[in-house]
Chain A
Amino acid sequence: MNKAITNIFKKPVTEEVTFKDEEFEALGIRLKKDIDTIFGRSLAIRELDSGSDNAAEIELNNLGTPHYDVERFGVTFVASPRHADVIVITGAVTRNMAGAVKKTYDATPSPKYVMAVGDDACDGGIYKGTYAVLGGADMILPVDIKIPGNPPEPKELMKGLLALMRSIRNRR
């Protein structure tokens, strides 16, 4: 009992972070509020690479690292499309990935949303009109929101998620 009470008042064991970015924190808090009201506490994202150059993957991965740590705001990247609310798709859709992209979308339970991340996913980028790609993600999936950039930085990804929340709210 005594221990429980002292634990409540003890300082946290974690160290104070030295790299707090006020703008990012503010974005995160706004996003958390939106997620709480729309999705009920957590937003599950399935990342889907349909032909990117892997820089967008690095930035998405970065969202989970100590500088950003978006799980604090209720955002989780899940291992299966069956657990996802949102599919984040990166890169132009290659012919070789088209089948897998469709299967991943079909495996995601409704309601589901698609966010295209990066210039290539938005409209095919430099690969537009070539033999190896079908084009941007919207050639094959109903895209709800497009985040341009090559690749978009973590803050831009957060703003993209916020915009997605806004568009979902407006639709309801």
Chain B
Amino acid sequence: MELIDDIAYTTRGRIVESDAKIGCNNDVYITLAERDLETVMHLLSASAYELASLFCVEGFDAHAAYTLLYAFEKKPYKEIAVFRLPLRWESAPSITSSFPSASWYEREATDGYGIRFTNPFDERRLFLHESYPEGFHPLQKGFKNSELDTMENGEPTGAGEYQFRKVAGEGVYEIPVGPVHAGIIEPGHFRFSVIGETIYHLEIRMFYKHRGIEKLAEGKTPEECVRIAESISGDEKVSNAVAYCNAIEKLCCIRPPERAWRLRTVFLEMERIYSLLGDLAGMCVDVAFPVGASPFFILREEILRQNKALTGSRFMKDVIGISGLKKDVPEDALKQLPTFLDKCIETFEESVEYVRSTPSVIDRFEKTGVIRKELLAALHITGPMARSNGLSTDTRIYHPYGLYEKIKPNVKTVDEGDVLARFETKASDILDSCRMIKKALDDLPSGPVSTDYAIRDGYATSLVECARGQSFHWIWVKNGVVDRYKIRTASFCNWQAIEHAVIGNIVPDFPLINKSFNLSYSGTDL
């Protein structure tokens, strides 16, 4: 059965095949009428559709100023179903009762475009904090990106104070943490409501690092935007650049040469390895076990040095380009990579075994920070967080791109959903990435790493599996420049799982639980 048939069946004939328009990569675009929205969303959620993203676009439909796009995925379909809702007025019904994860997206659309939602779950601002004036909506085309002049005594002035959810009752007290934290980490605010030592409720306030990336991309040429994609998150530079370039390549029908895709895969997996090594080390540090953390830190540093030898940058920036790579890789660096990885695997397995065999560590890891299974689909939890919770999900398998059509990852699924399960899943991801790099390097063809191309107008989605899970990119090129670049990183969805995972745990375990997710703040705040 095709995706459109499944949609017709799921929506009980409210949507039929002739309603659908097939976009790039066979994605299905369906225009919805506002009166059908709630029913259709309800039926989709009952039939295992997951909300991959929800966002607003200006000038997408001829008769409406704004259009809301609801992007869904359903296993095992490779294609994405995008429902478009042209807005007659600047308002729409909220879909949070069918898809709880829609709440952040809706607040994002309210901040960015001034769209109001009826019956919303939460009406507070999201990425615009107090310092932004009322009525300011940066993503509207009418606003030209420029500095805002609303500073008083060096402090920006703006809307009223943000109200955290209040938990009241005998013995409940609050612990505010952040935005500046004790370690060398990114800023965000955690508001705990605690009874004794046990966390009863947690509210995470993000977006301190909101840099206006989506607005920044507006009006830039597709080439200039690669740099912007790389700035989304420092340790996801390759993933986001590949996701972005892949979308442009799809809508312009560019086919990067085989060598380029093979090398891209090497970089993608190298990035996964160094990122996950940092997570494993961090988990050990947070249970006061630096002896166990050191080997992971050593390996990570060695991987970063390999990255530099391969691409000239420890974080592999400025190497991914539209139609392939911006430059080829030095032959000698490539040649010694498999031997280097073999040595890494040996040390790595020893180090993991050492952590596993330390009872005081396992005692802290086990049964800590469990995510309840019913949250996975509702919040669209992906990556190691989902795989450590019994869900065999991986964008590389369900929405393969580039070389993943040929080389399949062997992802490990663990059932427990606790910190230990995340440790095991991430450890197994690292080993699998080593295997995939070696496979990608097997009979690597010589030849160019990019092709000639011409930019065309159009729009396309692109999904990648970064170390933290699935990232979603949607790009609309109009008149040769980027008109709208929507980014939803894995962290954006996965953050909301932490609020639930900590409930019932003690406050001292919070850093460990947070580290076992190790999500990107900059990738969420954009």
Residues of chain A at the chain B interface (Cβ within 8 Å): 19, 47-62, 65-67, 77, 79-81, 91-92, 94-100, 102-104, 126-127, 129-135, 140, 150-151, 153
Cβ–Cβ < 8 Å partners of A67 in chain B: 297-298, 301
CB of B17 closer than 8 Å to a CB of A = no
> Which B residues from 266 to 316 make CB contacts under 8 A with A?
278, 281, 294, 297-298, 300-301, 304, 314-315
Given contacts A53-B233, A97-B179, contact A129 B156 (CB under 8 A): no
A61 to B282, CA, bound (A): 11
Name the CB-closest residue of B to A61. Answer: B184
A148 to B501, CA, bound (A): 39
A102 to B207, CA, bound (A): 18
Which of B146, B151, B525 lies in contact with A131, CB distance below 8 A?
Answer: B146
Which 7 pairs, one residue from A and one from B, show the smallest C-beta to C-beta distance? A55-B234, A132-B212, A79-B182, A65-B297, A54-B234, A53-B234, A96-B129
Which of B129, B156, B184 lies in contact with A77, CB distance below 8 A?
Answer: B184
Given contacts A53-B522, A65-B297, contact A131 B184 (CB under 8 A): no
Q: Are A55 and B294 in contact (CB under 8 A)?
A: no
| 10 pairs, A vs B, C-beta closer than 8 Å | A53-B232, A54-B234, A54-B235, A54-B521, A65-B297, A66-B298, A77-B184, A99-B156, A126-B216, A131-B145
Q: Are A91 and B209 in contact (CB under 8 A)?
A: yes
Q: Are A58 and B522 in contact (CB under 8 A)?
A: no
Contact flags (1/0) for B488-526 with A, using CB distance below 8 Å? 000000000000000000000000000000001110010
A51 to chain B, nearest CB (A): 5
Given contacts A102-B154, A102-B155, contact A96 B210 (CB under 8 A): yes
Q: Are B208 and A96 in contact (CB under 8 A)?
A: yes
Q: Are B186 and A130 in contact (CB under 8 A)?
A: no
Name the CB-closest residue of B to A79. Answer: B182
A94 to chain B, nearest CB (A): 6
Cβ–Cβ < 8 Å partners of B233 in chain A: 53-54
Cβ–Cβ < 8 Å partners of B147 in chain A: 129-131, 134-135
Q: Are B215 and A130 in contact (CB under 8 A)?
A: yes
Cβ–Cβ < 8 Å partners of A53 in chain B: 231-234, 522
A129 to B206, CA, bound (A): 23
Name the CB-closest residue of B to A47. Answer: B184
Most buried by A among B129, B143, B187, B521: B187
Cβ–Cβ < 8 Å partners of A55 in chain B: 234-235, 237, 315
Most buried by A among B132, B154, B211, B294: B211
Q: How many A-B residue pairs have CB under 8 A?
A: 147
A62 to B314, CA, bound (A): 12
Cβ–Cβ < 8 Å partners of A127 in chain B: 211-212, 216
Given contacts A94-B209, A140-B154, contact A126 B231 (CB under 8 A): yes
Known: A57-B184, A126-B231, A130-B215. 11 other contacts (CB 8 A): A49-B185, A49-B209, A51-B209, A57-B234, A62-B304, A95-B131, A100-B180, A126-B216, A126-B227, A133-B212, A153-B314
Q: Are A56 and B179 in contact (CB under 8 A)?
A: no
Which of A58, A80, A129 lies in contact with B278, CB distance below 8 A?
Answer: A58
> Which B residues from 104 to 161 make CB contacts under 8 A with A?
127, 129, 131-132, 138, 143, 145-148, 151, 154-156
Cβ–Cβ < 8 Å partners of A19 in chain B: 298
A19 to B297, CA, bound (A): 13
Q: Are A95 and B184 in contact (CB under 8 A)?
A: no
Name the CB-closest residue of A to B183. Answer: A79
A151 to B316, CA, bound (A): 11
Q: Are B156 and A98 in contact (CB under 8 A)?
A: yes
A134 to B131, CA, bound (A): 11
Q: Are A99 and B131 in contact (CB under 8 A)?
A: yes
Which of A51, A60, A66, A103 lies in contact with B184, CB distance below 8 A?
Answer: A60
A65 to B295, CA, bound (A): 10
Q: Are B212 and A130 in contact (CB under 8 A)?
A: yes
A94 to B185, CA, bound (A): 16
A132 to B131, CA, bound (A): 10
CB of B329 closer than 8 Å to a CB of A = no
A59 to B317, CA, bound (A): 15
Cβ–Cβ < 8 Å partners of A48 in chain B: 180
Given contacts A102-B154, A127-B212, A133-B211, contact A151 B228 (CB under 8 A): no
Most buried by B among A55, A61, A100, A127: A55
Given contacts A52-B234, A65-B294, contact A96 B209 (CB under 8 A): yes
A132 to B215, CA, bound (A): 9
Q: Are A92 and B297 in contact (CB under 8 A)?
A: no
Q: Are B212 and A66 in contact (CB under 8 A)?
A: no
Given contacts A94-B209, A99-B131, A131-B145, contact A49 B186 (CB under 8 A): yes
Q: Are B212 and A131 in contact (CB under 8 A)?
A: yes
A104 to B181, CA, bound (A): 11
B508 to chain A, nearest CB (A): 15
A159 to B228, CA, bound (A): 28
Q: Are A54 and B179 in contact (CB under 8 A)?
A: no
A157 to B304, CA, bound (A): 16
Name the CB-closest residue of B to A63. Answer: B184
Most buried by B among A94, A132, A151: A132
Cβ–Cβ < 8 Å partners of A47 in chain B: 184
Q: Are A66 and B297 in contact (CB under 8 A)?
A: yes
Q: Are A97 and B208 in contact (CB under 8 A)?
A: yes
A56 to B180, CA, bound (A): 16
A6 to chain B, nearest CB (A): 25
Q: Are B154 and A130 in contact (CB under 8 A)?
A: no
